[in-house]
Structure 1
C-alpha cells in the first residue's frame, strides 16, 4: 500500500481510504460479519483511513465501524466522520451529535472531523455564527478532534471562498476525470494544495457511474491500450496521478473491489501516467462530451447569477442524468441546489436577465437551457418537496 504524507501534521496516510457509506448489506442492513472481515483485511493490507458520517447507512455506519475496530484495530487507523449542518440549528445540536458519534465509534477522539457537504459559503457562515467553528477549535485543544475540515458539493466560486475563509486542516472534494471542471474543479484542488491544505478525494468513480453504463465508445477507447484495465482502474489511476491528492476514498461493497483497489494502490505514483495514457483520457472525455446535452465546461464565467442560480451546477446535474443514465440525479439536483443549500440555486430561479450569456465562452443559450433544465429536473412536485425537506431538516 502506497502512502502520502499529510503536509500539515505529518500523518502517513494510505492513498486508499475506506469509504464507509457502501458496506455490503443483507436484508437492508449492514452484513456485519462480512463487512468486519473486509475492514480488518483492509487494515492488515495497509489501509489506515476510514471515512464515515453521522447519517451513513441510516445512522448505522459509525456504530458498525466502532464495533469492527474493537480489539486493537482503532489504534491502527485514522477515523474521519462528519457533522451534518442541516441538523444543527444551535450549538447544542452539534454537541449532542458529537457525543453520540464518540459513543457510536467507541473512541475518545476523532482524527479527522468534517462539516458535512457544504454547498455554499452562506452555509459555512451560518455554522460559524452559531459558534460551531470556535467549539470545534476547543475540542481540538482538548484532543477530542485532531483535524478540522469540510466536505464540499457546490460551485467552484463557493469552494474558493470557503477554503480561504478558515485555516482548515484538510478538505474533501468530489474529483474524477469527468469532474475536472465541475464542483471544486482542478483549480480548487490546486488552490487547496497551494494553501497547504491536504485534500481527500471522494467519488473517484462518481458512485459507480464511471464503471457502469459507460458508452460503448469509451470502453473501446480504454481497451485500445496494451495494458488491459477495467474502467474502475483507469479512473482511480487518473485521480492518484495528481500529487495534490492525499487520499482517495472508495466505498467498497465486495471483497473483490477491496482486493482490486488495494492492488492498484500498491502500484501507482503521482505524475506517472504516460502521454499515451493521458491522451486516452482526453479521447474518453471527448466521447463523453459529445454525448453531453449542454456543452458547459463549468468554467464559471457566467457566475455569479443575479438571481442566485448555480448555472454550472444545474447543467452538470442535467447532463449526468442523460450521459450516465443516472436515475437518482433528480434527487441530487433537489438536494444540492434546493433542499439542503442555505440559498436555493435551482434553474427556475432564472429571471432571464441575460447577463450570463454575454460572458459564456461556449456561447450557450443559457436562459433557454435553464428552462429545459427546470422542466426536466423540477416538475410539479419540486417546490413542495423542497419545502418539506427544508422544514424537516429545519433549514431556513
Structure 2
C-alpha cells in the first residue's frame, strides 16, 4: 500500500468506502451481510488501508453500525474514521451535535478523525449558513468530538468555488473520475482546492461501477494498451495521478475487489501516467460516453420516493437495456418491482417506474442533476409499453 500525507499523517491512497457493502440479497441495499462486511473491512485494513468512510444514510442508516462493529478488537486505532453530517435532517443548530453524538454511538467511538457536511449543493449550503453550522463544528472540535472538519460536494464548479472560499476547511471530498473532469467540481476545482492547501478526497472514481463494464470497443483499447491492467485499475490510476488527491475511495464488496485495488494502489504514482497511458484513458472515455444514458451512481440520495418507486434500480435496468440494446435481459428484474400501489404494501420502496407521479421531490436531492421523472418515464415506456430502448437514445 502507498501512502500520502494528510494532515501530516501517512494515509493510504486507497480508502474503504462503505456505501456499497455486501448485502444478503442483490438489489436490496437495506440488509447488509454483516459477517461478510466486517470480514472485508478488516481484510482491507490488514492490507494497509487506514481510511474508512461511511455516512448516516448509507444502507438505510445501517452502514455506520456495521463499521462500528468492524472497528472493534483494536481496528479503530489503526484507521482514520470518517462519516458525514446529515444536514438535510437539521431543523435547529443544535441538531449538529445531536446527530454527531448519535453517529459516534453507532460507530462505537468517542471521536471522528474527519466529519464532513454531506453532499453540499448550492441549496444545501444556504441551509448550512442559516443554521450557523461552522460555529457548531468549532464547538465539536474544541470538545474533542471531531479532529478535522470538511464537506463532501455534489454540484457545479461555480458552487464549489463559492463553498470552498467561504470557510477555512480542513478537507473536501469530491466526485472525480476521467468522465467527470468537466462536470461536478471539475478538474479546475480539484486544482483550485490544491492551490489553497485543502486536501482532496475523491469519491466515485469508477462512476458507480460504470467504468468497469466490458464492451467490445473498451476491450480493444485494453488489449492494445502498452500497460496491461484492468478497467478498474485504469480508472483508479487516472485519479491517483493528481498530486492534489490524497485518498481515493472505493466501494469494495468482494475480497477480490479489495485485493485488486490494493495491488493497483501499489503501482500508483503522481504524474506517473505516460502519454500512451493517457491516450488509452481517452479512448476508454470516448467509448463509455456512447453507452451511459443516465449518469445515476445509485447513491440513493433520492430515496425514499414518496410514491414508493425504487428510483436507482429502475434507472439501472433502463441503463442496462440501453447498454445492451434490448430490454429482454432486464424485463424479469423490472417485473419484480411492485407494479401497482396495492403491491407496494408487500414491496415497500420497491415500486416500478410507472408509479412516479412527477412530484419532483427527487430533483433537488440528486447530486448528478438527473431529470429523474423523465428517466422513469423512459423506463416505463421500455418495460411497460415495449418501446425499443435503442430508439430513446
Q: TM-score, normalised by structure 2?
A: 0.75
2:95 aligned residue = 93
Q: What are the within-5 Å matches in structure 2 for residues 1-396 of structure 1? A: 1-6=1-6, 9-27=7-25, 29-120=31-122, 122-212=123-213, 214-289=214-289, 338-340=363-365
Structure 1 position 119, deviation (Å): 1.8
User: CA, structure 1 residues 275+86, in 2 after alignment: closer, same or farther (shift >3 Å)?
Assistant: same
Q: Does the 8 A contact of 1:190 with 1:244 survive in 2?
A: yes
Q: Does the 8 A contact of 1:86 with 1:340 survive in 2?
A: no
Q: Which runs of 5+ in 1 are unaligned?
A: 295-316, 348-372, 382-396
- Give deviations 1:344-365, integer Å, cap 9, x for gaps: x787xxxxxxxxxxxxxxxxxx
User: CA, structure 1 residues 289+55, in 2 after alignment: closer, same or farther (shift >3 Å)?
Assistant: closer
2:350 aligned residue = none
Structure 1 position 89, deviation (Å): 1.9
Distance 2:359 2:148 in 1: 31
1:313 aligned residue = none
1:308 aligned residue = none
Distance 1:336 1:188 in 2: 28
Distance 2:237 2:360 in 1: 30
What count of residue pairs does the alignment treat as equivalent?
Answer: 325
Q: Does the 8 A contact of 1:51 with 1:80 survive in 2?
A: yes
User: CA, structure 1 residues 88+264, in 2 after alignment: closer, same or farther (shift >3 Å)?
Assistant: same
Structure 1 position 124, deviation (Å): 1.3
- Give deviations 1:206-260, integer Å, cap 9, x for gaps: 1101112x54212211221144321111111111111111000001110000011
Distance 1:235 1:140 in 2: 35
**Which of structures 1 and 2 has the larger relative contact order (alpha carbons within 8 angstroms, sep 6+)?**
1
User: CA, structure 1 residues 336+275, in 2 after alignment: closer, same or farther (shift >3 Å)?
Assistant: farther
Over the aligned positions, Cα root-mean-square deviation in angstroms equals 3.2
Distance 2:111 2:360 in 1: 30
User: CA, structure 1 residues 138+334, in 2 after alignment: closer, same or farther (shift >3 Å)?
Assistant: farther
Distance 2:319 2:221 in 1: 22
Distance 2:173 2:236 in 1: 16
Structure 1 position 324, deviation (Å): 6.1
Q: Does the 8 A contact of 2:292 with 2:319 survive in 1?
A: no
Q: Which runs of 5+ in 2 are unaligned?
A: 295-314, 325-329, 335-352, 381-393
Q: TM-score, normalised by structure 1?
A: 0.74
User: CA, structure 1 residues 341+283, in 2 after alignment: closer, same or farther (shift >3 Å)?
Assistant: closer
User: CA, structure 1 residues 334+134, in 2 after alignment: closer, same or farther (shift >3 Å)?
Assistant: farther
Distance 2:195 2:10 in 1: 19
- Give deviations 1:332-384, integer Å, cap 9, x for gaps: x9999723389xx787xxxxxxxxxxxxxxxxxxxxxxxxx9855678x9xxx
Q: Does the 8 A contact of 1:337 with 1:346 survive in 2?
A: no
